[in-house]
């Protein structure tokens, strides 16, 4: 390769990689820095932010930088509890999505080639209608007048329990979360499972492995990269989601997302909202880092 080729390669790389890099710089790194800065400031008297430099008129008013927002966060157990609840919700959603998505992904990956694309299309089909409309639909399905509610309460009534309200409960939030995020679990799992060499399962069977052993010894370990990337794709958005708990949850079911939203739109405490966002970002980054590390290609996967 000559020097000219090398230089050409570098220019091409800049042309291809440059625009997205600049985009992320302006719309991700920039806002993040602003958020960090905001989280260390005082809230304004009527919302917004207090000035950094003391205004000449009232020298005693709050101004400059302060770790107050973070102190506030750690001073009240309530916020830690909401963080914990959000993590628990995200974990439960991820787990249920995994349980539901895995058999579906296996089914698609092992179906005839000509049907696979159609089946994948069906998995992503819900995206064709608006997200909020789909959540409101769940409001009707889980509502007290719905056939589902009446059916469940009729059964519970036989055992002398209930009636229960499905809507505006952690259960409703979980159902909504699972429903919205299921495709994000199915797709990476399918992509992984589809690449498995069927000869491996034949070999395992030939060497004495029954169906259960074939799954746990061959299919499951080989699918781990798909499991981890699917889990990250579900876990992380659920952690910050506020629309689903807003619509389907009760008053006690607020998650971090709702808390942050309230700081900006309700309580008007921008610094505290920013501090919460930073905490959430750090939490998400550590989950993402863990998932990336776990999802690194299993040794020998490329065989």
Partner 1 sequence: MALLEIRNVTRRFGSYTAVDNVTVTIEAGEFFTLLGPSGCGKTTLLRMIAGFDLPDSGQILLDGKDVVGTPPEKRPVHTVFQTYALFPHMTVADNIAFPLKMAGKALPEIKARVSEALDGVRLSDFRGRFPHELSGGQKQRVALARGLVNRPRLLLLDEPLGALDAKLREEMQIELINLQKEVGITFVFVTHAQNEALALSHRIAVMNRGSVEQIDEPSKIYGFPENRFVADFVGKISMMSARVLESTPSHLKLEVSGLGEVVTVGKEGVKAGDNGLVAIRPEQVRISHASDEPQLKNHFLGKVHDFLYVGDVTTYIVELSNGAYIEALLPNSAPGRAKFYDVGDAVAVSWRHDAGIFLHE
For partner 1, the closer of residues 205 and 281 by Cβ is: 205
Cα 135 to Cα 140: distance, rounded to the nearest angstrom: 9
Q: With binding defined as CB under 8 A, does residue 219 bind partner 1? A: no
Q: With binding defined as CB under 8 A, does residue 300 bind partner 1? A: yes
Provide the β-strand partners of residue 45: 47
3-state secondary structure the chain: CCHHHHHHHHHHHHHHHHHHHHHHHHHHHHHHHHHHHHHCECECECECECCCCCCCCCCCCCCCECCHHHHHHHHCHHHHHHHHHHHHHHHHHHHHHHHHHHHHHHHHHHCCHHHHHHHHHHHHHHHHCCHHHHHHHHHHHHCCCCHHHHHHHHHHHHCCCCCCCCCCCHHHHHHHHHHHHHHHHHHHHHHHHHCCCHHHHHHHHHCCCCHHHHHHHHHHHHHHHHHHHHHHHHHHHHHHCCHHHHHHCCHHHCCHHHHHHHHHHCCCCHHHHHHHHHHHHHHHHHHHHHHHHHCCCCCCCCC
Q: With binding defined as CB under 8 A, does residue 251 bind partner 1? A: no
Q: Rule CB under 8 A: which of 150-209 touch partner 1?
A: 197, 199-200, 202-209
For partner 1, the closer of residues 191 and 205 by Cβ is: 205
Q: With binding defined as CB under 8 A, does residue 227 bind partner 1? A: no
For partner 1, the closer of residues 76 and 197 by Cβ is: 197
Q: With binding defined as CB under 8 A, does residue 301 bind partner 1? A: yes
For partner 1, the closer of residues 112 and 206 by Cβ is: 206
For partner 1, the closer of residues 160 and 303 by Cβ is: 303
Q: With binding defined as CB under 8 A, does residue 221 bind partner 1? A: yes
**Binding-residue pattern over the window 18 to 47 for partner 1, x denoting contact by CB under 8 A:** ------------------------------
Q: With binding defined as CB under 8 A, does residue 66 bind partner 1? A: no
Task: Give min distance, CB of 206 to partner 1, in A.
Answer: 5
- Residue from 218, 239, 260, 278 touching partner 1 (CB under 8 A): that is 218
Task: Give min distance, CB of 184 to partner 1, in A.
Answer: 25
Task: Give min distance, CB of 260 to partner 1, in A.
Answer: 41
Q: With binding defined as CB under 8 A, does residue 303 bind partner 1? A: yes
What tokens were used for 116?
Answer: 């696979």
The CA radius of gyration of the chain, in Å to the nearest whole number, is: 25
Q: With binding defined as CB under 8 A, does residue 110 bind partner 1? A: no
- Binding region for partner 1 (CB under 8 A): 197, 199-200, 202-210, 213, 217-218, 221-222, 298-303
């Amino acid at each position: 390769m000559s020097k000219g080729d090398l230089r050409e390669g570098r220019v091409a790389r800049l042309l291809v990689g440059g625009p997205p890099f600049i985009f992320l710089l302006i719309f991700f790194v920039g806002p993040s820095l602003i958020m960090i800065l905001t989280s260390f400031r005082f809230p304004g008297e009527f919302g917004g932010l207090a000035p950094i430099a003391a205004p000449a008129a009232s020298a005693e008013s709050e101004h400059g930088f302060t770790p107050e927002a973070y102190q506030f966060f750690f001073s009240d157990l309530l916020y830690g509890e909401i963080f914990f609840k959000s993590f628990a919700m995200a974990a439960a959603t991820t787990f249920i999505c995994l349980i539901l998505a895995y058999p579906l992904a296996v089914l698609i990956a092992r179906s005839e080639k000509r049907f696979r694309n159609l089946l994948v299309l069906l998995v992503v089909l819900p995206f064709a209608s608006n997200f909020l409309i789909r959540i409101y639909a769940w409001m009707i399905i889980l509502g007290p007048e719905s056939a589902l509610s009446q059916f469940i309460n009729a059964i519970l009534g036989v055992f002398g329990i209930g009636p229960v309200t499905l809507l505006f409960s952690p259960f409703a939030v979980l159902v909504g979360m699972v429903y919205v995020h299921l495709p994000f679990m199915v797709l990476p799992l399918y992509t992984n499972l589809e690449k498995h060499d069927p000869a491996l399962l034949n070999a395992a069977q030939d060497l004495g492995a029954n169906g259960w052993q074939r799954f746990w010894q061959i299919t499951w370990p080989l699918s781990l990269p798909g499991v981890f990337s699917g889990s990250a794709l579900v876990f992380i958005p659920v952690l910050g989601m506020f629309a689903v708990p807003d619509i389907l949850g009760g008053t006690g079911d607020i998650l971090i997302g709702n808390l942050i939203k309230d700081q900006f739109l309700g309580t008007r405490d921008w610094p505290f909202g920013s501090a919460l966002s930073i905490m959430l970002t750090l939490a998400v980054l550590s989950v993402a880092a863990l998932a990336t590390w776990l999802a690194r290609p299993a040794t020998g996967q490329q065989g």
